[in-house]
Structure 1
Amino acid sequence: MALQFTSLNSGSNGNCYYVGNDTDAVLVDAGISCREIERRMERLGLSLEKVRAVLVSHEHSDHIRGLPTLTRKHGIPIYVTARTYKGGRMYLERSKVHDFSGQLTFNIGSLSIQAFSKVHDAADPYSFTISYGGVTVGVFTDLGVPCANLVHHFRQCHAAFLESNYDEEMLEHGKYPWILKQRIRGGQGHLSNRQALDLFRAHRPPFMTHLLLAHLSQNNNDVRLVQALFDAHADGVQTLVAPRYSESPLFQVSTAGAGPTVRAHYEADTPGQLKLSFE
């Protein structure tokens, strides 16, 4: 038994992550257009017919932008808390909206979903783990601090998407106004490279095989810096920066072993530049 996973886009321009098995899949967030979700999944050999739900982490536009068209065109149910739905001012077909408030463990098809609250400047923010056949993949972005909930769930993961949003020096000396810098690093915004690395080094489980570094800032981070930083401490875990403008490889992880199932990925900050790094 195995789970496949990929980042369809990761960054402040839009976030969308796919996790599934041979029969069922979910998207975590839909912050890019329905058309781009369709195109990127098709390039990976994935079908939206298998997607049973979109799990919504919070109401910021880079996580929900594509939801209305996606659910209207493909009839995909949306799992969201009532406060997030209200905060996002989303106008979706109500029969497709499922409120998971108060029911943080639930099944979608053959997949087991665990939702947990996190620290972020949103109405009711959540992260998720998706499990099947003894394998767990976590999607952990938009995190103000590495809270106890995050640590607990990170320790359960065979693979994870983990936010590594900003380099502290780049943010400090960058052009952002002070109030925005404080919003990012003030405990309600995002995780720095250092915070993400500390979490990875201290709490990764011995069975973790893949770590995708997610939601990098375009202005306050550097793909090469993050890749080198985590590669130096990977200790057998395959690490990769999730691309900003395209899909990542499609990976597969199982209790018997793990490996990429797609031949190539696009350079994280260079649209359309093919890089044959994982075969």
Structure 2
Amino acid sequence: MQLSITSLNSGSNGNCYYIGNDREAVLVDAGISCRETEKRMKRLGLSMGKVKAIFVSHEHADHIRGLPVLARKYNLPVYITPGTLHNSRLDLSGVQVLHFQAHEAVQVGRISVLAFPKLHDARDPHSFVVSCQEVRIGVFTDIGAPCDQVIAHFQLCHAVFLEANYDEGMLEKGRYPYYLKNRIRGGHGHLSNRQALSLYTAYKPPFMSHVLLSHLSKDNNCPKLVEALFRLHADGAEVVVASRFEETPVYTISNLPVAPKRSIGRQISLFDAVVE
């Protein structure tokens, strides 16, 4: 079995992740408009007709902004916890709203979606592992710290959307007010590049083939910097930076062994990476 994955958008301006097999698919979050979701899916050759459900991680606007229109237009059930629904203040009239429980898998056709709590400054935030047969995809974003549950599930995944929100030096020297800096790095905000890399290098399983670095800060990170940092430690996996402006390509994930990759062309150095 194989799963196709893409980030339709990733960042504080909107988050939406697609995971599907040859028959059905799910979206994790719907933080961009219905129109943009449709346009990006079409450019990738993906059909909205395959999407069977939307799973909501938490109530922040960049994860739910496009949800009501998208769900109504395509008659999609929305899986959301009662706490997240209450705090979202969404009008989901006419939408099939279903609640999920942490650690209890939801079956959508042949796709299984398992949620578990995460550390984030929201009412009832969850991360997800989406699987089909033996292929597992982790959606680990908006995480204040890599808790034991993130670590345990990370080690089982063939591919991950992994938050690398900020460079610690850029955040410290940047223009954000002190309270906002502390919110981001305070344990219930976001993962730094260093935290994400530490999780990756310590717990990456040998069969992980792709890591999609996600939810990068516009002001406190540099895509070239974090990409170069992870490529130095890729250990056979393909490193992709998910954009806040456009969709990534579609990647096909299987449970086949990962072959070592040889570098082609000039290596990107960390010095090169910080120069834009």
Same fold (TM over 0.5): yes
Counterpart in the other structure of 2:111: 111
2-side partners of 1:252 and 1:103: how far apart?
26
Counterpart in the other structure of 2:191: 191
TM-score by length of 1: 0.91
Question: Given that residues 252 and 258 in structure 1 are in contact (C-alpha distance below 8 angstroms), is that contact kept between their aligned partners in structure 2?
Answer: no
The alpha-carbon deviation at position 17 of structure 1 amounts to 0.2
2-side partners of 1:218 and 1:15: how far apart?
14
Say whether residues 1:87 and 2:87 are aligned partners: yes
State the one-letter code of the partner of 2:213: L
Say whether residues 1:20 and 2:20 are aligned partners: yes
The alpha-carbon deviation at position 256 of structure 1 amounts to 3.2
2-side partners of 1:234 and 1:102: how far apart?
31
Shift in CA distance, 69/229, structure 1 to aligned 2, threshold 3 Å: same
Name the SS for the 1:229 alignment partner: helix
Say whether residues 1:48 and 2:48 are aligned partners: yes
Counterpart in the other structure of 1:218: 218
Question: Given that residues 237 and 258 in structure 2 are in contact (C-alpha distance below 8 angstroms), is that contact kept between their aligned partners in structure 1?
Answer: no
Counterpart in the other structure of 2:179: 179
Name the SS for the 1:4 alignment partner: strand
Question: Given that residues 101 and 115 in structure 2 are in contact (C-alpha distance below 8 angstroms), is that contact kept between their aligned partners in structure 1?
Answer: no
Counterpart in the other structure of 2:239: 239
Identical pairs, percent:
58
4+ residue segments displaced more than 4 Å: none
Say whether residues 1:130 and 2:161 are aligned partners: no
Aligned residues: 259
State the one-letter code of the partner of 1:249: P
The alpha-carbon deviation at position 91 of structure 1 amounts to 0.9
Question: Given that residues 212 and 242 in structure 1 are in contact (C-alpha distance below 8 angstroms), is that contact kept between their aligned partners in structure 2?
Answer: yes
RMSD: 1.3
Q: Deviations over 1:95-116 (max 9, x none)?
A: 5100113663121111011100
Query: Could you list the runs of 5+ residues in structure 2 that have no partner in the other structure?
Result: 260-276
Name the SS for the 2:4 alignment partner: strand
Q: Deviations over 1:231-251 (max 9, x none)?
A: 000011100100110000100
The alpha-carbon deviation at position 125 of structure 1 amounts to 0.1
Counterpart in the other structure of 1:75: 75
Counterpart in the other structure of 1:272: none
Query: Could you list the runs of 5+ residues in structure 1 that have no partner in the other structure?
Result: 260-279
Question: Given that residues 236 and 258 in structure 2 are in contact (C-alpha distance below 8 angstroms), is that contact kept between their aligned partners in structure 1?
Answer: no
Counterpart in the other structure of 2:203: 203
TM-score by length of 2: 0.92
Counterpart in the other structure of 1:143: 143
The alpha-carbon deviation at position 258 of structure 1 amounts to 7.7
State the one-letter code of the partner of 1:84: T
Shift in CA distance, 94/124, structure 1 to aligned 2, threshold 3 Å: farther
Counterpart in the other structure of 2:33: 33
Q: Which moved more, 1:249-258 or 1:143-152?
A: 249-258
1-side partners of 2:258 and 2:49: how far apart?
25
1-side partners of 2:238 and 2:87: how far apart?
37
Name the SS for the 1:113 alignment partner: strand
Question: Given that residues 80 and 100 in structure 2 are in contact (C-alpha distance below 8 angstroms), is that contact kept between their aligned partners in structure 1?
Answer: yes
Counterpart in the other structure of 1:262: none
